[in-house]
Structure formats: C-alpha cells, structure tokens
Amino acid sequence: MKELIEKLSSKYELQEVTYQRNNLVFAAINKDSAIDAVTYLRDYEGYTHLVMMSCVDWIEEGKLQLLYLLNSPSQKNDIGIRVYIERENPEMVSAHHLWKSIWTYQRELREAFGINFPGSPRIEENFVVEGWDDMPHMLRDFDTHEYAEKTYFPRGNRKTNDPAEYMRAKLYPNQPVTAKQRKDDK
Amino acid sequence: MINKFLGFKPDEKLLPSKTVTPDTEIDLSSHKYQKIWLGPNHPGVTGNMAVELTVQGNTIMKAKTHVGYLHRGFEKLIERRLFVQGFPTSIRMCVAEPDTNEYLIARCTEELSGYADAVPEYANWLRMLSLEMARLAGLLRGVPGQGGTFALGIGVQWGVYLRDLILDRFEELTGARVYHMYIIPGGVRGILPDGFKERMEDNLRDIDDFIIRIKKLMFHNSVFKQRAKGLAVITPDMVDKFGIVGTNARGCGVKRDVRKDNPYLYYDKLDFDPPTATDGDVYSRTWVRWQELIQTVDLIRQIMAKMPAKGDIRAKMPNVLNWKIAKGDTYVRLESGRGEYGMYYVTDGSDKPRRINLRGPSYNHAISVLEHMLIGADVADVHAIMVSLQTCPPEIER
Amino acid sequence: MSFNLKDILTPFTAWARVVKEPVTIKDPFTREANERYRGFHDNDVTVCIGCGSCEAICENQAIDLVPVEGIETKSGDSGLRPQVDYGRCCWCALCVDICTTDSLRLTNEYTWVDTDADNFIFTPGVTEKDWYSKEGGWRKPGAGYEFYGKERVHMEELHADERKDSFIEFVKGYSAEQAKKEADRCVACGICTATCPAHMGIPEYIKAVREDDMEEGMRILYETNPLPEICGRICTHKCEDVCSVGHNGDPLSIRWLKRYIADQIPADLNTYKDILGTGELAKNGKKVAIIGSGPAGLSAAHYLALLGYSCTIFEKLPEAGGMMRYGIPSYRLPYDQIDKDVDYILSLGVDIKYNVNVGTDITLEQLSKDFDAVYTGTGLHLGRSTRITGSEHENVYQSVDLLRDIVLGKDVPVEKKIVVIGGGNVAMDITRSMARLQMKKYGEVNVIATSLEDEDHMPADREEVVEAREEGCTIIPGYGPQEVMITDGKVTGLRVWKCLAIFDETGAFNPKFDEADERIFEGDMVIESIGQGMDLSYLSDEIKSKIEFGPRGRIVVNEDWQAKGLPWLFIGGDIIEGPDVIHGIANGHRGAQSIDKFLNEGR
C-alpha cells in the first residue's frame, strides 16, 4: 500500500498516515480536497466499493473526524480517509454523486452528530430516532445515563456499599483516614 | 372487455401512467395513487422494519424504508463500558448471527492492544466453529424463508426445527442458545465438550437430508420458479454503486467473499469455493444461499476434523479491570451469512472505547437497494424481495 | 410460462414427511438445560468475602453489595454479599469468571415465575431458592482462562552463595516493568485496607504504580505511613494475608510495590517537600516531647509536625530508628534507607537529641513541665531469658543485645559453633547475622537454631527459614531447651528434649517434653531469642503510683492512648500492641491525633 500512499501524497497533502495492517491504511486529508481525493481513488485507483462512512467525536480537540472507508475489490485492501471538521455547526460536502448508498450514511450522521451535507437527498428526514428534539445523540456531551434518569422511572430501591468504606465504618470508625476516605465521607 | 361492451371510453389522461420509473411524477391528491404502510409488524425473517409504499393499483411507484423500531443505542452504550464488558451488549446488535459481533469486538481490541497473534490456536478454531455454526443457523431459517414469502410454509417448519438442533449444540458449547457470549477479547470461554463432534455429525446428517428435500420443494417447484425468476434483478454494475455485498452480489455473478478476499482465522487452510449464479434475481440468490448451506455443512465437517484436540482457550492478557489501550483505530471485517460485516473501532488511551461503528450489510441492502428494487414491483412481491435481500434491521440501527 | 410436469409434481414429495414421527417436544417445562447453561445465580456465602469484583465487572450494573444478617464484618471479609437485579442481568457470567474466591456460580435453572416484580432483586445464597442444589451450570472455564494474573511477579534476590558472607541488601527490588505487571493484578477491592494496622490506601497506591504516577503514590503513602522505605522492606504485610487475589492465586506483593514507589523518589529533601507539599509548615507554638525514636516516636513526630507542633525526640542510642536500626540486620533493611525516611521527618522541624536517657539524664516529670504533652514509645529492648540451668553463663547472650552491638560497630563474639534458641523472626535475624559473621571470620557456617514450635508452626516468616537454610544455617524446630552444658567453665552445647505440646488445655504456657528423645546441640555460645520485654525504669515511683498496669505489665490506656491517670502522657508502639513496625506507625499517628485533641480541648 506504500505505492498508493506515495501516489496520493503527490496529489494531496496527507497527514497522520497510519499503516494499521498490511491491507489497511489511514490518512488524513483536509476538508476541501477530501471529496476530490475520494473521487480520484474511486475512479483511478480502483477503490470502487464504499465500505462505510463514519464519524468520531474528539470533543477535547473541538473537532469531529469523518471517515470514508474505501475498499478495492481487485487489490483486496482498504484505505480510510479521515477528514477533520469543526465541531461547531459542522458541515461537509455531500458525496451522493459518487455512490448511490452514501446518502443513508449522511442522513444518519446529520441526526447523530449534527453534520449538515447540503444537497444530500432526504437529508432532513430522521433516521432512527423519530420525534427527537434533544441534541444530536452520538456527541460526547450527550449523557445517556443522565437522560435515562430524567426520562424514565428507575426502580428506586437499590443501594450499594463499597467494601473498603463499609469495613471502615464497622471496624475502625474513629481512626485517621486517607484523603480519599475523607472525601467519601462528605 | 366490459368497457367495449358498454361503449364506455375512459379518458387516458385520467388513468395512472402505465410505465414506472424513479422519476415518474406522483401527485397524491390526484387519487391515482395510494400510500400504504407495510410493517413494522414482524413478518418473519425480515425483521421490524416498515416500508411506506406509494402504489397505483398493485404496482409500486415509490418506496421509503423506515427504520428506527430497533434503535437501542448500543454504540453509545459500549462507549461507557470497559473493553471486556462490551461484548454482551454488542451481540444484541444482530439477532440472526450474534457471534459475528462478538468476534469483531474481540478482534478489534486484540489488534489495537497488540495481542492479535497471542490468541491460542485452539481458541481460533473454536471461534471459526462458532461462526460457521451461526451461519448455518441463519441459513436454515433464511433459505426456506424465501419459500415462506410465497406461502410455502412447510420448508420454514423444517428449517426452524433443524435450527433448533443447532441451537442445542450452541447451548452445549457456549452456555446459551441465541446470544452466546462466547468469544471474548483474547480467546473463547469454553473448551469443546466431550461427544460434541458425534452429536454435531448426527445433526449434520439430518441437515444433509433437509438440503435434498428443500431442493425438491423449492427449486423443482413451478410456483416458486414462476414467482422468483426474473424478480428484483440486481445487475453487476449496481454492486459497487450501492455497496451490495455477500450473497446478493454473488447472485449476479460478482464473486465477493471476505473469507477468500481477506482471509481471517484459518479460512485459508480450508477447502471451499464461494458459489455464484448469473441471473441476479430472487431465484438465483436463493439458489446461491442453498449452495452455501451445503458448503457450510462441509466447512463445519472440515473444521471439526482439522482442529486440535486441546489447548489453551485464552491468551494471557492484562487484568480486565485495569486494561487500557493506546490511541488508535482499526476496521475488521468478516463474512456473515448476509455479506460483509465490519466494525470500525476507535480507542483513545483510556479504559473504554471512544467509538465503535458497526457496518452491517443490511445498511445498504434494506434502504438504498430495496427502495430501488421496489419501484415497478408488485405489492405481493414486497416480502419476497425483502427476504431475498436478507434485510436485518437490528444491524441498520444498532 | 412453460409447462414442466416435473416442477409441478416434485414438491409433493414433501408429503413423505406425513408418516414420520413429529419432532414437537410435548412438555418443554421439564427440559433440563445443558450442564454448561448460564442460568440463575448461586453464591456460597461462607466462602464469599464480599470483595466486590463481581459488582465492578457487571456491565449492566446489576449487582449491589449489601449487608446480610448473620454475616459479620471481620478482617478479610467485608460482611457484604452480592445482590443481583434480574431486571438488568443478562446472564453473561462475567461475574463468575472474575470471582476471586470461586464462590459465585450460575446454575442451569432457567424458569422463574413470580407475581411480584420486586422479588427479582435477590441475594444469591441468602434468599431461599430451590435451584441452589443443582449441580449443573456455568463455572470458570479453566484451560488458561483467567481475568487477572494468578502468579506473582518473581522478586529477584542475590543467590545464597553471593549473600551469605555479606550484610549487603539481598532483595533487589522490582524494575518498572515488573512493578507495573504486578500492580496490574490488583482488583481494587479494598479489603486489605481494614487489615492494615495503619489503614493505608493500598488500592490507591497500587493504581499509582500502574499509572506510573510516583508522586501521587508517595502522597498516598505518606497520608498514613511516614516510613515507606522501611515498611517496603520489612513490614509483616498482614494485608497480603487477606488479599482477595490470594484466595486462588498468589496475593499481591503489596510490600514490594510500596518499596518500588519509595525507591523512585530520590533522597533529596527538597524533592520530598515539593511532592508532599510540606515546604512551609506553620507552627502553633505548642511543644511535645517524644521518648524513643522508633517507629511509634517517629510517626508521632511526623504527624504532630504536620499539625504545627514543635517536637523534640529523646533517643537513648547514638542514632534514630529504634528496633528498626538496632534490631533488624542491614541485609534486610540497609541503614541508608532508614536514614532516607528519618531525615525527611527531621526536616519538618523535628528536633532530636541523641544519647539522652530519659529517667537518668532527664526525668519524666521535668519533661511534663517543659512540654505540653509527652509521647512515649520506648519499645521492647530487653531480652527475655529461658532461665534454664546454665543460662547465667557469660557466653549465653540475648539476641537483642548482640543485634544492637553489631549495629553499634562493637566487637561481637563469634564462636565457631553457635546455638540459637528461638523460632521467630528475631531468632532468624540473629541466626543469619551470626552465619555471615562466621563466614567472614572462619570461612564456614555452623549455626543451629531450635524452637519449641515444630516446622509448620514456626512463628518466623517462611521465607526467613528458607533463606536461612540456603545460607547454610541449620534449623531444627520442635525441641525445647533443658540445660546449657558447661564443661571446664566453658559452654559446650545445649541439651534439648523433643517438644510434644506447648500449651495445655487451659491455653497457658506449659510445654510437655519427651525425655526419651534427647539431643545435644554442640556450641561454644548460646543465644536466647525467645521474646522481649519492656524497660520502664524511667517511670519514677511517683508516676507509677498515678497510672495503672494491666496484663503483662502493660500500662493501661484509654481509647485515645492516654495513660489512665496521667492525661499528658500518651503511649504507643510495641509496649502497647504489636509487636511490629506497622502497629507502631499506626499508634504514632493516632497518638498524634489524640494529643492534638487533648491540647485543643484544654488540659
């Protein structure tokens, strides 16, 4: 796959090139040239099969990472193109002219991460959560535990004990303690 | 004929158009067309998925797939679990063949943490065995299920019974019938019990008999042939445009099989050739799956003959409560009964995964391909088309 | 549509099944699930220790630890037992796979019908259920399957040939990789903390080793223990005896991990103060006198200094450390490591006066006037004698005296053949020390150690006995000394009889011997190491009249470690409980807290 990376890097600026296995390589391309690179790979290098399109939320860095994973049925290897976009009002060029199946992925990403793909067919339609009015549910700052506690009625008669804390209360309640135990006391 | 007798000549402009293409104009208020919902009541092997049809008479003008009845948020839930805790949640993402999910999560964590080669040989053979048994269980329901959509219910009865026998074998090997929770990062969770091979061979003999009976029932069946031949044709140029994989692709001659293209486990040591057909219609796809049934039985026999008699079942790995994996990502795929099944797994240096994203074959088959196939199809054939594409909604919505 | 007769008639072959036996199972409810089936829980509550590993691994948070009536909390058992919520459980059996004591299992029962939904939260093994007697079900798979490492990472030591003639430290210590691997085995249950006399935050500092955060580890150590280098080498590690991993594997090497953390921090006082945040300590103007610079005294001084008190330690011997320096040989605890810990405590503003004997150089009454409170931790420095015939001879020594003399650098008598009476750690210390001195002087070892207890019940640590034998010493347990043989005014040996029992029916010390099994151990000197006693000569008669004495001559103290009758006198260390270093450290800490409470509430 090294030849492919060399060819690709002569046309586009590649970053974070990672050879994960001998048949899988990842590379990051900037947002403006990403669709161009994907089209080039599809038309000239034989990566005709779109495996999936995915997204990862790197909330610490304030970025969303898109992934276009392409497979070449003839060479039997994969290349993953990573694209970093801003987390605030994210938007990306639609690729629905390249594959007839990618609009579903884009529709899901719109609902799950809030990424807009202007022009993608049926982009406004919800995918799996009908009537959802909260923030995009796959973002890291959406706390599912908190949502579940707020929305549903848990059976409230469960209480657990920490063995170390319990033993302290029973066996040596008045003795000097570590900072962690002092914190747990409060 | 009656109209000629009565001398009544209707205005052609008021009738719905005879030709149907994706671009045909549909004006719902003209009362030429009607919207009906199919599903999401579980019609058997297709799963909980609704299709919103716009029909004129019996012909479908437009179809929209509605998923979302099975969204449980598993991908988000797994982000809150330790690496070893992920697998019981992940298997519920696909009901028909849960072992594929277990294997993918285990393989991804092993690859990212550097233990990919540390898995013992015996464990890998057992993994192969459980994957092939899962494929067998899925096919035993899927192959006669196609007949079921044409009201040929008897094959389904036979298939479900034999699948139950395979579930008995699973219970013996893994400790549960449907959700096995057997493959774990590092290895598997149990040795092959004594006498398993003999009991399995008994079941396989029954299945051999079933294979011949199904052939007589379905493939030498005039009704089945009339209905299935020529229905919902997939052409080879559609394969890459829509991302069609697995038996759907092989049904039209495009030979794609992960076990041959990117071999995993010990598939390169086994002797098999993925079957293909040329017509690309429902009949061909069913015929390919039937061939695959024969092949899976043969593969299981080969695996049981070639696997070592004993060995360790799990590699020595870090303490599961304290296990942290460095930042990285990978994509692992395998061939499930329905096609290429893969998982994109991202870690960030903590003890929980950052993101897992499952790629099920039905993601494309049930939405893009189905909506395309249904245009111009007959309402009565909708189920048949859905089953022939092997739509499995749990893996679409996770 | 082509007319094909074969295609029309062939499907009818399915009718052949009409005559076959139906495959429906008429009664599915009595079907016994397979023996590996994962069904409902059962827990052996007598074996379970309530460690909580099952709760930690349950991915659905279905398990809670709850107290159970009739099961008491004690050392090594938290008294809690798992309670499972079947509304959440998915029967994955991860809890069974990680159970440290193998007490939790899944039976193969799968039917449970109930009208009350709250009944599905139950405590396996406690709530009455009829499937507990089922034999089948999921158990740990075996064949190399384990969730945490069962074997301890081996600690490298100098080989016996290299160490038997030198007092160099022979335990090498863990490397970073070994320490991380050993720390990885911990399941963080926390049961060890209750057993440790000082209640150290053990799971927390093991986590610091895993995460390679030595500064945090040091901070956690110093919260409860100001002598980590020392304890990391010679602590009696009661924690390791109750480690939950130790039930089905080797317990964690908690002591060596403590040593690893302390070893990573260099012996620089500024580094210590930076890490522990003790650069600037405000003083509150009150003064405390501390008698004895053993573990109790040093620990009290450390914690009192942190609270702002000005402490002065009065030490009888030329250097600080008490029994740690003068009782433990340097091949187990090198002097520079003692200095490392002691120097930091002194740098907090603690004053120490060496070679000052309280009682003779300065009286206790004087201390009570010059200081606001007095803490005494004078320890057990007097040897106890067997008082057998001949034990008054000048060549019959006390092990404590010899060990002290070795440290003081004095000329210690080393004869060609030595007999040691005693089977505890101190006896092993003197045996191995004399063996080394014999190697240096004569080039060969001839030391025999004997004890009343037989091989399996020797009070010394197992590794001490094993290592002593590796170094050439002879250990013959199970014999009781009867007479020191003296010929021509010189000691020639020890006559012993086989010991049949040590205690009688009432539990009192009343050994029984078999006179027929008599042996003579040859020796030119005999060393007694059967126990130690306290030297309370610094208490004047007037003071003694005010306080009370309890069993074995120990001063009676209240729960705040104050002497009953003299509220300004606080007592700790071996003279109250133990005897070991970690008890002294714990006492010192609690004594410091009690002194603080006493001085802030008014005398």
Residue C584 has pLDDT above 80, yes or no: yes
C296-314 pLDDT, tens digit each: 999 999 999 988 889 999 9
- Domain C382-532 classification at class level: alpha beta
What average pLDDT is seen over chain A? 86
Q: In Å, how far is B246's CA from the nearest CA of chain A?
A: 13
pLDDT, average across residues C143-162? 85
Size of the A and C interface in Cβ pairs below 8 Å:
90
Residue C280 has pLDDT above 70, yes or no: yes
Query: In this complex, is the C-beta atom of B253 within 8 Å of any C-beta atom belonging to chain C?
Result: no
pLDDT at B23: 65
What average pLDDT is seen over chain B? 87
Q: Which residues of B touch A54 (CB under 8 A)?
A: 344, 355, 357
Query: In this complex, is the C-beta atom of A118 within 8 Å of any C-beta atom belonging to chain C?
Result: no
For CATH 1.10.645.10, the residue range(s) in chain B are 74-397
Q: How confident is the model at residue C43 (pLDDT cuts 50, 70, 90)?
A: very high
pLDDT, average across residues B34-42? 80
- Do B290 and B143 contact (CB within 8 A), yes or no? yes
pLDDT at A185: 62
C358-371 pLDDT, tens digit each: 888 888 888 888 88
- Domain C282-381+534-603 classification at class level: alpha beta
Q: Which residues of B touch C33 (CB under 8 A)?
A: 171
Query: In this complex, is the C-beta atom of B394 within 8 Å of any C-beta atom belonging to chain C?
Result: no
Residues from C in contact with A at Cβ < 8 Å: 50-52, 55, 63-67, 73-75, 78-80, 85, 87, 117-118, 121, 189-191, 193-194, 199-201, 203-204, 220, 223-224, 303, 559, 586, 589-590, 593
Q: Which residues of C touch B314 (CB under 8 A)?
A: 143-146
pLDDT at A176: 67
Dist. CA B123–CA C145, nearest whole Å:
11
C480-539 pLDDT, tens digit each: 888 888 888 888 888 888 888 888 888 788 888 888 888 888 888 888 888 888 888 888
pLDDT at C95: 92
Query: In this complex, is the C-beta atom of C25 within 8 Å of any C-beta atom belonging to chain B?
Result: no
Q: Which residues of C touch B315 (CB under 8 A)?
A: 144
Multiple choice CATH, C159-265, 1.10.1060.10, 1.10.3720.10, 2.60.120.620, 1.20.1250.20: 1.10.1060.10
Q: In Å, how far is B130's CA from the nearest CA of chain C?
A: 16
Residue C40 has pLDDT above 90, yes or no: yes
Query: In this complex, is the C-beta atom of B205 within 8 Å of any C-beta atom belonging to chain A?
Result: no
Q: Which residues of B touch C142 (CB under 8 A)?
A: 191
Multiple choice CATH, C29-138, 1.10.150.20, 3.40.50.1470, 3.90.1150.10, 3.30.70.3270: 3.30.70.3270
pLDDT at C382: 84
C413-468 pLDDT, tens digit each: 888 888 888 888 888 989 998 888 888 888 888 889 888 888 888 888 888 888 88
Residue C28 has pLDDT above 80, yes or no: no
For domain B74-397, the CATH architecture is: Orthogonal Bundle (1.10)
Q: Which residues of C touch B225 (CB under 8 A)?
A: 7
B213-249 pLDDT, tens digit each: 888 888 888 888 888 888 888 888 888 888 888 888 8
Query: In this complex, is the C-beta atom of A171 within 8 Å of any C-beta atom belonging to chain C?
Result: yes
Q: In 10 A of CB B155, how many CB atoms?
A: 23
Map out the domains of chain C as residue ranges: 29-138, 159-265, 282-381+534-603, 382-532
Residue B301 has pLDDT above 90, yes or no: yes
Q: Which residues of B touch C90 (CB under 8 A)?
A: 88, 179
B149-180 pLDDT, tens digit each: 888 888 888 888 999 899 999 999 998 888 98
pLDDT, average across residues B296-306? 92
Between A181 and B70, the more confident residue is B70
Rounded to two decimals, the ipTM of the complex is 0.88
Beta bridge partners of B183: B188
pLDDT at B136: 92
Query: In this complex, is the C-beta atom of B195 within 8 Å of any C-beta atom belonging to chain C?
Result: no
Q: Which of B76, B240, B363 sits opposite A138 (nearest CB)?
A: B76
Query: In this complex, is the C-beta atom of C351 within 8 Å of any C-beta atom belonging to chain B?
Result: no
Question: H or E segment at C16?
Answer: none
Q: In Å, how far is C258's CA from the nearest CA of chain B?
A: 19
User: What pTM value is reported for the model?
Assistant: 0.87
Residue A10 has pLDDT above 80, yes or no: yes
Terminal CA-CA length for chain C: 113
Three-state DSSP at B333 gives: strand
Between C540 and B278, the more confident residue is B278
Between C405 and B12, the more confident residue is C405
Sign of CA dihedral C161, C167, C173, C175: negative
The C-alpha torsion from C335 through C339 and C342 to C346, rounded to 10°, is: 150
Query: In this complex, is the C-beta atom of A175 within 8 Å of any C-beta atom belonging to chain C?
Result: yes
Residue B15 has pLDDT above 80, yes or no: no
**3-class secondary structure per residue, C379-446:** CCCEECCCCCECCCCCCEEEHHHHHHHHHHCCCCCCCCCEEEECCCHHHHHHHHHHHHHHHHHHCCCC
Tell me which of A84-93, B169-178, B295-304, C533-542 is least confident: C533-542
Query: In this complex, is the C-beta atom of B316 within 8 Å of any C-beta atom belonging to chain A?
Result: no
C211-259 pLDDT, tens digit each: 999 999 999 999 889 999 999 998 888 899 999 999 988 999 999 999 9
DSSP letters, A121-178, are TTTTS-SS-TT--SS-TTSTT--HHHHHHHHS----------HHHHHHHHH-TTS---
Residue B6 has pLDDT above 80, yes or no: no
Residue B3 has pLDDT above 70, yes or no: no
- Do C452 and C499 contact (CB within 8 A), yes or no? yes
Q: Which chains touch A (3 or more CB pairs under 8 A)?
A: B, C
Q: Which chains touch B (3 or more CB pairs under 8 A)?
A: A, C
DSSP C91: -
Quote the crossing angle between the two packed helices C269-276 and C335-347, to the nearest 10°.
60
pLDDT, average across residues A109-120? 90
Nearest CA in chain A to B364: A101
Dist. CA C496–CA B283, nearest whole Å:
98
Q: How confident is the model at residue B24 (pLDDT cuts 50, 70, 90)?
A: low
Question: Given this chain, do its domains C159-265 and C382-532 carry the same CATH topology?
Answer: no
pLDDT at B331: 92
Question: Where would I find the H helices in chain B?
Answer: 2-6, 74-78, 86-90, 99-113, 121-149, 153-174, 196-214, 222-228, 236-242, 246-250, 258-261, 282-306, 362-364, 370-374, 382-388, 394-397
Dist. CA C447–CA C472, nearest whole Å:
8
What average pLDDT is seen over chain C? 87
Q: Which domains does chain A have, with CATH numbers?
A: 2-154 (3.30.460.80)
- In degrees and rounded to multiples of 5, residue C297 shows phi and psi of -65, -45
- Do B106 and B184 contact (CB within 8 A), yes or no? yes
Query: In this complex, is the C-beta atom of B241 within 8 Å of any C-beta atom belonging to chain A?
Result: yes
Instruction: Give the CA distances from residue B184 to residues B110, B119, B180, B239, C603, in Å, rounded to whole numbers and listed in that order.
Output: 10, 11, 11, 34, 65
Dist. CA C299–CA C305, nearest whole Å:
10
pLDDT, average across residues B17-24? 65
pLDDT at C149: 85
CB contact under 8 A, B344 and A99: no
Determine the distance from the C-alpha atom of residue B103 to the mean position of all C-alpha atoms in its chain, rounded to a whole number. Answer: 15
pLDDT, average across residues C158-182? 86
pLDDT at C603: 46
Residue B45 has pLDDT above 70, yes or no: no
How many CA atoms within 13 Å lie on the side-chain side of A169? 11
pLDDT, average across residues A102-114? 90
